[in-house]
Amino acid sequence: MRVAPISGQRLFPRAYEEGADDFDAGSGLRYHRFMPTELSLFDKAAAAAARIRALSPHTPRIGVILGSGLGGFGSQVEDATVIPCADIPHFPQSTVEGHSGNLILGTVSRVPVAVMQGRVHAYEGYPLDAVTFPARVLGLLGCRTLIVTNAAGGINTSYKPGSLVVLSDHINFTGTNAALGPNEPRFGLGPNAGLRFFDMSTAYTPALRAIAHAEAAKLAIPLEDGVYLAVLGPSFETPAEIRAFRTLGADLVGMSTVHEVIVARHMGLDVLGISLVTNFAAGITAAPLNHLEVMEEGRLAETRFTALLKAILPEI
């Protein structure tokens, strides 16, 4: 008896479920049906990492996720392999202007890096598994440090548009958590990682924050410290919400970052967060908020942001 797949049946290299035999009277052949089962999140991330390794010779040590208007840093990567996210299995595709959707592997200041030009957000309709999928893949590629950047609204009025702020902590006001669902210990990349319940008391690694401040001082680049509050979006916040967030201790507000940081800490990665203040938050001035302002401030800050990040990388 010859065994062949049913015509049109899509076969996968992993995770098969045996089904009943089917007999094709026309050909006289008996077919054995293999039904693909849903891959686990870990298997999807491993498949994505395997594809990236096949496309690039680089093994990154540091992963960088670039926020709105900050994607120009990708041009600093030397010996670069540029991989459109659409070419990576299971990778989500950004729909937001200012997030070009490429993964770039190479070196910056002789440090092997993987740079995500842009990210996806929950407000685009993606589940959190997809929002945090690139961070998971960066860890599996070999990154043990994740640098997350974002464009943020300034709640602290001492931060002017164009200010760079190192994140000291965050407040998750999105109403959900990227670690929801079954725990996957295989994502743990070091001691005390991959746990069901994991520590977030130092979500942003103090030693990395110290490096950022030291390098900023050498370059005479003003660098603040601040607490980032994340909302779900996509609407900007109301003035009443901003007043409430200030009372809670927030210095900045945005629609990203915290869930990537949560999964990075679950995996055992060190994290550095840097925000670019692109505008005053709602109600602080009479000006309405718009995304074009975010993009323009990113362009204006690109030189300072690039210089600082290039100085930080070799010190990590």
Q: Catalytic pick from 99, 170, 259, 266?
A: 99
Q: Catalytic pick from 46, 49, 116, 255?
A: 255
Q: Catalytic pick from 291, 296, 302, 307?
A: 291
Polymer length in residues for the chain:
316
Alpha helices in 237-284 (DSSP H): 239-248, 258-267
Q: Catalytic pick from 47, 56, 68, 282?
A: 68
Cα dihedral 236, 273, 123, 288, rounded to 10, equals: 20
Q: Catalytic pick from 32, 40, 100, 124?
A: 124
The answer to whether 213 is a known catalytic residue is no
- Identify the burial level of 217 via C-beta atoms within 10 angstroms of its C-beta, where 0-12 means exposed, 13-18 middle and 19 or more buried: exposed
DSSP class of 48: H
Q: Catalytic pick from 94, 172, 256, 275?
A: 256
The answer to whether 102 is a known catalytic residue is no
Q: Are 71 and 118 in contact (CB under 8 A)?
A: yes
The answer to whether 116 is a known catalytic residue is no
Q: Catalytic pick from 58, 102, 116, 121?
A: 121
The answer to whether 151 is a known catalytic residue is yes
The answer to whether 99 is a known catalytic residue is yes
The answer to whether 255 is a known catalytic residue is yes
- Between strands 223-230 and 164-172, the pairing is parallel
Q: Catalytic pick from 90, 123, 244, 296?
A: 123
Q: Which residues pair with 228 in a beta bridge?
A: 170, 252
The answer to whether 168 is a known catalytic residue is no
Q: Catalytic pick from 48, 80, 135, 151?
A: 151
Structure tokens at 249: 């201790």
Question: In 3D, which of 204, 271, 276 has the Cα closest to residue 62?
Answer: 271
- Between strands 29-36 and 16-24, the pairing is antiparallel
The answer to whether 291 is a known catalytic residue is yes
Catalogue the active-site residues.
Answer: 68, 99, 121, 123-124, 151, 255-256, 279, 291
